[in-house]
């Protein structure tokens, strides 16, 4: 079937943040089996911070991520398994091990102004015969012109697809359209969009991206993702179906996966809390939320104050240590 929009399901990677990286092999197998039966074309599986993310700084995984990846590959009959690679956290041996396990796609993520950091991982992934995606995180922190230049670096480095990533859930629909349209005008490869729902705009922003020409969209079933989650897959499929936009996904089956497989394992409902709302308002990386809540409890301060200060300092992914520093300063203030 021809798909007008190609979906990548990210709950088994981005949702790792909300699960505090406690996914079990049985949970991954059940989720992949359901998603595969619903005809989801790509399923991303990894630690929330990508390959190699199971550390004290980012959070230890309950189950070795490569066991989860192996379980996903073994379970999927049609869907392709993807992984996330953040240079500086992931290494080339991590990518090789994932490739040997049978993954099909590597999404190489960098801060939106640091695309040059992706080049070694993109080149190596291409050598291994993998589909490659350039993942420009925190895209609200750069204007369209700069994003185009950064995307060109990734395309020249071998990226088959370029994603605008709203890591903080801070973009508005018109800003998404501006960025996607700018890329469509100057980039020859397909454009994708990854939303977070911290301002309750994930579905709206994903629709804006499609209207502007995006062909790849990320979803997280039951909204399972960092912060307030991502574009809710089963909801988004329903909306696209009403708009006669083809995804190839079975609507009833994806609803059943959300209700019967994912909902029972959620630590808590994915909703827009005051903390996740501040993420979008202040433009803070969505995976910072749980770290800020822990620091707030430890130092006896308000997690919102931590996140607002983090936003003022324009912290990016990988600077989680700054959270404790800010919390300690607020305690003394």
Please tell me the distance from the alpha carbon of residue 232 to that of residue 257, in angstroms, as a whole number.
Answer: 12
Please tell me the distance from the alpha carbon of residue 182 to that of residue 125, in angstroms, as a whole number.
Answer: 27
Please tell me the distance from the alpha carbon of residue 299 to that of residue 322, in angstroms, as a whole number.
Answer: 14
Asked whether the beta carbons of 274 and 193 are under 8 A apart, the reply is: no
Asked whether the beta carbons of 102 and 73 are under 8 A apart, the reply is: yes
Please tell me the distance from the alpha carbon of residue 204 to that of residue 210, in angstroms, as a whole number.
Answer: 10
Locus of tokens 């185009």: 148
| Phi (first) and psi of residue 278, to 5 degrees | -65, -35
85: region left, alpha or beta (phi > 0 left; psi from -120 to 50 alpha): beta
Q: Binding residue per annotation — 111?
A: no
Which token pair is 287? 């995976």
Residue 223 C-beta-side C-alpha neighbours within 13 Å: 17
Q: Binding residue per annotation — 194?
A: yes
Q: Binding residue per annotation — 285?
A: yes
Q: Binding residue per annotation — 78?
A: no
DSSP 263: G
Annotated catalytic residue: which of 17, 21, 111, 291? 17
Residues whose CB falls within 8 Å of the CB of residue 77, separated by 6 or more in sequence, listed in order = 36
Please tell me the distance from the alpha carbon of residue 159 to that of residue 131, in angstroms, as a whole number.
Answer: 8
47 is catalytic: no
Strand, helix or coil at 137?
strand
The binding site comprises: 13-14, 167, 194, 196, 285
The binding site for Mn(2+) comprises: 14, 194, 196
Active site residues: 17
The binding site for substrate comprises: 13-14, 167, 194, 285
């Amino acid at each position: 079937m021809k798909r007008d929009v190609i979906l990548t399901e990210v709950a088994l990677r981005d949702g790792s943040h909300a699960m505090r990286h406690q996914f079990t092999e049985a949970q991954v197998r059940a989720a992949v089996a359901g998603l595969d039966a619903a005809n989801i074309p790509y399923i991303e599986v990894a630690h929330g911070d990508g390959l190699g993310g199971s550390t004290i700084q980012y959070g230890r995984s309950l189950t070795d991520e490569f066991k989860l990846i192996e379980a996903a590959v073994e379970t999927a009959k049609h869907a392709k398994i993807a992984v996330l690679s953040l240079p500086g956290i992931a290494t080339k041996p991590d990518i090789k091990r994932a490739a040997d396990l049978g993954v099909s796609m590597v999404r190489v993520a960098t801060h939106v102004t640091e695309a040059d950091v992706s080049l070694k991982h993109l080149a190596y992934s291409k050598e291994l015969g993998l589909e490659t995606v350039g993942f420009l995180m925190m895209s609200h922190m750069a204007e369209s012109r700069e994003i185009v230049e950064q995307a060109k670096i990734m395309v020249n480095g071998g990226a088959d697809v370029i994603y605008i990533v709203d890591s903080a859930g801070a973009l508005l629909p018109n800003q998404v359209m501006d960025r996607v349209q700018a890329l469509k005008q100057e980039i020859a490869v397909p454009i994708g969009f990854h939303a977070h729902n911290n301002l309750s705009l994930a579905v709206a922003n994903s629709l804006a991206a499609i209207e502007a020409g995006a062909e790849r969209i990320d979803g997280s079933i039951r909204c399972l993702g960092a912060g307030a989650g991502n574009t809710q897959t089963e909801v988004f499929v329903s909306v696209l179906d009403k708009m006669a936009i083809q995804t190839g996904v079975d609507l009833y089956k994806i609803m059943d996966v959300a209700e019967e497989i994912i909902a029972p394992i959620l630590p808590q409902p994915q909703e827009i809390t005051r903390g996740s709302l501040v993420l979008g308002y202040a433009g803070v990386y969505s995976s910072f939320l749980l770290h800020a809540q822990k620091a707030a409890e430890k130092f006896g301060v308000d997690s919102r104050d931590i996140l607002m200060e983090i936003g003022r300092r324009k912290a990016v992914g990988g600077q989680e240590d700054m959270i404790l520093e800010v919390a300690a300063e607020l305690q003394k203030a």
